Structure 1
């Protein structure tokens, strides 16, 4: 999986990394049980601080997407992904609210916002490689 971080972005690097790993899992590029690079190795490969990678990995561990073991390393959750919970729905609403507000401030029509959301979702799902 190719990870590209924008060092000039206002979005923290750990968030960018977590988001890209989540997208890799959602698209099927990263499959359950797949090993991920060690914290140190990924930090080296990306040219970022190892604490940044550690924070991203721990965030995804808390969300149930990764398993982190001191001896065996980091793997994509092999026991099935977590379902849609109330906490997830609340987080999703907060994030969508922020995006919707930004779109509304710029004058984007509701239909266009909804279509863009569908398009992005379908693009990720379509890239699952036949799953």
Structure 2
């Protein structure tokens, strides 16, 4: 049910995240259904296991899937609702608004980038 386009400009992990969310929204998989292991899905799609692991981490962070230790990975009970929220789009909207405010105040692209990098470097790792 999942197909990956290696020639697409969209990163492979992002394609995987989006396709799993679409499969959930279209009821092709339901809450509680088991998903393939990282290794199995990577083999099936002929992609690196780290790519699948990254996609699964994002989906787990967003409560679309849940890992239950050695029992495997499953579709989260609230996956239908949670798969409709697009964190990346929300971040882009927020940044667009903030950057527009900075530019309206006269800040240059370079000044904004430097300030952004400074703030990001002050954040604890993993947050």
Query: Does 1:19 pair with 2:18?
Result: yes
Q: Distance in 2 between matches of 1:28 and 1:82?
A: 9
Give matches, 1:21-40, under 5 Å: 21-40=20-39
Asked whether the equivalents of residues 64 and 82 of structure 1 are also in contact (C-alpha less than 8 Å), the reply is no
Unaligned runs of 5+ in 2: 95-127
Matched residue count: 92
- 2:79 maps to 81
Task: Give RMSD over aligned pairs.
Answer: 2.4
State whether residues 43 and 53 of structure 1, in contact with CA within 8 Å, keep that contact through their aligned partners in structure 2.
yes
Aligned structure 1 segments of 4 or more residues deviating by more than 3 angstroms: 81-84, 88-97
5+ long unaligned stretches in structure 1: 98-131
What do residues 84-107 of structure 1 show as CA deviations (whole Å, max 9, x unaligned)?
Answer: 7xxx5774345679xxxxxxxxxx
CA deviations over 1:2-60 (Å, ceiling 9, x no partner): 11100011111000000000000111111000000000000000000000000001100
Any idea what SS the aligned residue of 1:71 has? helix
Within the alignment, does 1:53 sit opposite 2:38 as a pair?
A: no
Could you tell me the TM-score, scaled by structure 2's length? 0.64
Q: Which has the higher contact order (CA 8 A, sep 6+)?
A: 1
Report the CA distance between 1:69 and its aligned residue: 2.4
**SS class of match (1:67):** strand
